[in-house]
Amino acid sequence: MAGKQATALAATGSFQGYYGCSFTGYQDTLLADGAGKFQYYSNCYIEGAVDYIYGGASAWFGECTLASNGGGAITANSRKTTTDPSYYVIDSSVITSAVSTSLVNDVYLGRPWFEFARVVFQNSQLPNLINPLGWTTLAAVAEPTFQEFGNTGAGASTSKRVMETALNAAITHQAVLGADYLSWIDDTF
């Protein structure tokens, strides 16, 4: 419901995998949380408007549909220090609108919930919903690592991006989920 905070999933454990799931809400839809916690989301539908993927886990979102039902930031990562392993990677996913009203330039890829937020959008389809600035603010003194690589679509241009750190190659599963990630995820789904 518009204007309401309601978490559909609070994932706070490690070595968790979610496959073909649907999570819908408005604000704070999916909490992917826990320092040092590894989480994997594959072929999921995640809908919301304000910080609808938030928290501090090391989470991989692959082949997902992220559907905005209002203006706001898709992610709000809560990485607190430069040594905190928290990492959100949205890979090979589609960003879309879940409403019939226009959201052109009303959606941001993310904002730092805490000072050292770290989020990557790579190999994904970014439509004209994405604001040309790409990223927006939240933490008072933010030094986030916001990166993009290989994205396509009307919202993929990085020429006006703010708070963006250059990325020369796609991030790997291992960098986010650890060296043994294949022992706990189902990479066939």
Q: Which domain holds residue 145?
A: 28-179
Tens digit of pLDDT for each residue in 113-153? Answer: 999 999 999 999 999 999 999 999 876 788 999 999 999 99
The answer to whether position 15 is within a domain reads no
The answer to whether position 87 is within a domain reads yes
Tell me which H or E stretch contains 177: helix 173-177
> Picking from 3-12, 14-23, 87-96, 113-122, which range would have the lowest pLDDT averaged per residue?
3-12
What predicted TM-score, i.e. pTM, was given to this entire model?
Answer: 0.96
Say how far apart CA 136 and CA 182 lie, in whole Å.
34
At 105, list the tokens: 């330039």
Q: Which of 125, 113, 123, 118 is nearest to 164 (CA)?
A: 118
Whether 28 is catalytic:
yes
Q: Which of 33, 51, 84, 91 is catalytic?
A: 51
Q: What percent of the chain has pLDDT over 70?
A: 97
Q: Which of 28, 33, 84, 91 is catalytic?
A: 28
The count of domains in the chain is 1
The answer to whether position 13 is within a domain reads no
